[in-house]
Structure 1
Amino acid sequence: MTNFVSAPALNLPDVPIQLAKRTFLAGSTDASMPAAISQLPTATFPLVLQPKPGLHANDISVPDWAADANKWIDAVLHEHGAVLLRGLPLLSADDFTRFVEGLDCETLGYAGGIALRDAVTSKVMTASYEPPEVSMEPHNEMAYTSVYPSKVLFFCETPPACGGETPIVDVRQYAQLIDPALRQKVTQTGIKYLRHLPHQRAASFASWQQTFYTDEKQDVKRFMDERGFEFYWDEDDNLTYSYVRPATVPHPKTGEDVWFNQLVSHHASYFQGYPDDAHADFDYHRSPFHSQYGDGTEFSPDIIAHIREKIWLCAVAFSWQQGDVLVLDNLLVQHGRMSFEGSRRILVSLVK
């Protein structure tokens, strides 16, 4: 017997979320960028679960809530892609950690990730430390690596006073809108991901020490060698490396071939929507990250704009409430973050 019931579809945020010409949003000045997020949340995307009417959430332990939620996640997540748990008795990082532990799942670390995060507990870390004025475009978590989470869990410890909505996108929907010839070409060549990580004494975005949680170059070499990545160090101990990943992967539960990559969100044009680089004429190959066709050919600006448009056309956004837990099938659903004002603290756990 479950203590959850499905809830009605979420309401739209009070104010339409502007996209076109939005400050510090990658691609917002492209002619093809939609004016605003226009898709409505539905009763099944995200699927919202809350305690049964009349039930006091505090009367049930956090581990028991997690065990109940786990049954729903296992049964429906691969179908809906996103499940929002609302009304649980979770207030702190420790509460969220106990919830994750109650799911009885193995979590992943973040070595090699492109965002800056802090570990909060052994299973929980902060969401990305992007500046609050930046809007982060939707992406699959760590799709640029060979080791990525199958699920991503977000917990709202402190909702923002203004903005900070989370857009989510069903990959199965937006991938069908991409030009078929382009999809076929990218599938054939794969995607080359490039990283340039300065030494911490010269880093303005992320250093290799922050990215790999070590001060030892030998640890980084071991990471590269284990994965077969091409890499080199320059005379100032800055690191550059690259590798090719497929554009699609099979879903572990359904076997469905899924469009799973970060062709756009890993592209250096992201930094043209960034406060420090919005008007800079910078070298893509010295950017913290970049993407190309698998053969090293550059994606044209029109291709990047085309895919960004299709992603945002399919985006659904919601506003956080304190205690919310959002569970995403990472292969099926992308997530992002709109700019915000005031305090906002979202924690995350990556499930293997």
Structure 2
Amino acid sequence: MSENHNQDSFDKGLAFEDYVEKVLFPYNAYDLQHKTNGYEQNKERYVTNSRKPDFRFKCRLTGKEFHVEAKYRTNSFKERYEILSDTQTTTFQEIHTTEVPIYIVLGYGNTAEDPEYVSLIPYEMHREQSIPVSTAFQLQIPKAEVPSSLITTRVTTDEKVEPVAFEATEHTKKAFLSKPILSVLGLVAVIAFGTTYFFLDDESRDTPTTVAVNPETNTEVLKNTIAEYYQHLDSNDLATLHNYISPKMRNWYGVKNPSLEDVRKDIEDYRNTYPFTETKVDFEKINIVEQDNGDFYITYPMEYKVKSKVNAPYKLYDLYLTTIWDKDYKLVSAQELRR
């Protein structure tokens, strides 16, 4: 962090650093290789080593080493969050390498000890001093231990993240009012599973992962798949939908036999209007029944919250989902019931 921050800024920064270290990169999954000096040390005599990112971790599972710079912001300024200081825009270029990359963890909203949202921003993808609010939200991750797959997958330098439009058009307003709540649902998964998420190159995006399992593991695979599916949606990552939704969709919340593009457009329209969602799936009450044709009839309750802007109040819905997933673990039918 910059040596020019005042005590209050450092206090918030240290609180969020503690959150990043203990919640996102805990000792049981990541070894701490380096930690930057804090305010008390730097006000006595500034240590030049403090120009490095806040942390350097090593993943215990993969052995991958990487830097993490922690930034907490209470509010945005002109629809952007500052994620690098003037000094860091220069020094980070010298520190960042393919072998040991830099990631910026941005916390925003609520408090530094418990931010409302957290985003994982690859420095290789975004080297500017500030980031649009919409782009930050696209890179949102669950407030839990970061899966190693988010770190080990390298970002291509020419990949760009298109921001989500926050202002609703009259078309999307009318479309939302005429559709069920979850016809365009995205939610925060209760547990972050080992998914390749949205930092994939184009080739990886187009190649769905095939998982070979025996009948005893179907339940866990389906739970993981459902959680990953909603996690991608909640992060506005529509590029991976084809990995979770069957091209032979039979029922999409009352719409019979829609194309994958129809489903994608439906979700996109809604998320342009309501980009902020937060849902808790009750996996303890999920019911999975395998059918004779290899499909899986799956029902589960969920608590769904939605809002149009960061500072807007949430609307809360108590829902019950009835879904069908095929033998390839792809969604072929979805219906909802408000309770």
TM-score w.r.t. length of structure 1: 0.30
More helix by share: 2
TM-score w.r.t. length of structure 2: 0.30
Identify the structure with bigger relative contact order (alpha carbons < 8 Å, sequence gap 6+): 1
